[in-house]
Amino acid sequence: MDETQMKNISKLLLLSTLLTTATVQSASIGTYAAGGLFGTSETSGGIDQSTASVQGSRSLQVVPGFGTLGAYSYRAEAGFDTNAFAPVLRAEAIYDRHTDASDDWFISAEASAFQVYQNTSSTSNTYTISLNLHGIVDSSPSSFIDADFFVYSGANVFADSTLCGSTANSLNDLGYACGSQIASEFGGSGSEISGNGETTVPGIASFTVGAGEFFTVYGSLEASTFGGSADAFGTFTMKFEDNTDLLAVGQVSAVPLPAAAWLFISGLIGIATFARRKATV
């Protein structure tokens, strides 16, 4: 085997290693938004995406073989609230029961997000997250708003459940979180908001994380209707009561310049101004 063949084999081995590493690399953030007729007409976001949003509408139309579909609209957003230091979710689905519509159709909008955190302290910390779900529902004949919230130990989130082994926790369209569940709120078999009118549903989750350890926060929101409206655009929020020694992995924050840097910059501006004036004399 000559030198050229050896180099080619080395390149192939290196490429294989890089591809394998990329395949199993875990993610620290993810957002997902979807909406439309039957809930999947439009999607946005994914693993490693910090924001996701969808929005759309249709006017009254005739669907061959099904009848007349009334006008509908949907919108959904998922992102990160820097003030609350946590994900924020919004969703709304509206179906206009036009007099010419032959049936009620299922329109939905959904948003979800996960964020990995680290307790950077040298001691264990107990974190408390306040939750607030606000929605307005017109159930004619059926509309609902549903929310879920979970916290899992560890920092590993993969698209492939087999990489988690027996500890794979489904994040729906955002893959799987590895680790044990250490907190949850909402969820269950029923919807958080149904019936008619405006409702606010509070929640709270507290959990303890060891020094230097990671954890993953996941939330999801769905607004759906069979002929009315479900408005949760104002919103499903999560807020840390105290984020001391807490790092949101993968989130970029603005780092203020030290005073000495500003003084240096001011000096450079002064020198440039003086040189310009001298050149014009």
What confidence score (pLDDT) does residue 95 get? 86
11 occurs within a structural domain: no
Instruction: Give pLDDT, residue 251.
Output: 80
Which CA distances in Å does 8 have to 15, 16, 21, 121? 11, 12, 20, 47
270: in domain? no
In a domain, 266, yes or no: no
DSSP strand pairing (176-178 vs 157-158): antiparallel
- As a whole number of angstroms, the distance between CA 240 and CA 127 comes to 7
C-alpha to C-alpha distance for 196 and 143, rounded to whole angstroms:
9
Residue 109: which domain range? 27-261
Q: What is the pLDDT of residue 134?
A: 94
Is 12 a domain residue?
no
Supply the pLDDT for residue 3.
47
- Per the structure, the count of domains in the chain is 1
Q: Is residue 245 part of a domain?
A: yes
Q: What is the pLDDT of residue 216?
A: 97
Q: Could you say which DSSP state residue 219 is in?
A: E
Taking 3-state DSSP, the helix, strand and coil percentages for the chain, each rounded to the nearest 5, stand at: 20, 50, 30
Does 233 map to a domain?
Answer: yes
Please tell me the predicted confidence (pLDDT) of residue 267: 52
Of the candidates 131, 124, 86, 122, the residue with the CA atom closest to the CA atom of residue 207: 124
pLDDT tens digits for the chain (281 residues)?
Answer: 444 444 444 433 333 433 333 345 689 999 999 999 876 679 999 999 999 999 999 887 777 776 666 788 999 999 999 999 999 999 999 987 655 555 667 899 999 999 999 999 999 999 999 999 999 998 766 889 999 999 999 999 999 999 998 899 999 999 999 999 999 998 765 568 887 899 999 999 999 999 999 999 999 999 999 888 999 998 899 999 999 999 999 885 444 444 444 444 455 455 544 445 445 55
Q: Kindly state the helix (H) or strand (E) to which residue 201 belongs, with its residue range.
A: strand 197-209
**Domain-located, residue 19:** no
Cis omega (within 30 of 0) for bond into 64: no
Task: State pTM to two decimals.
Answer: 0.78
Residue 269, domain member (yes or no): no
Q: Is 218 helix (H, G, I), strand (E, B) or coil?
A: strand
CB 209 within 8 A of CB 151: no
> What pLDDT score was predicted for residue 17?
37
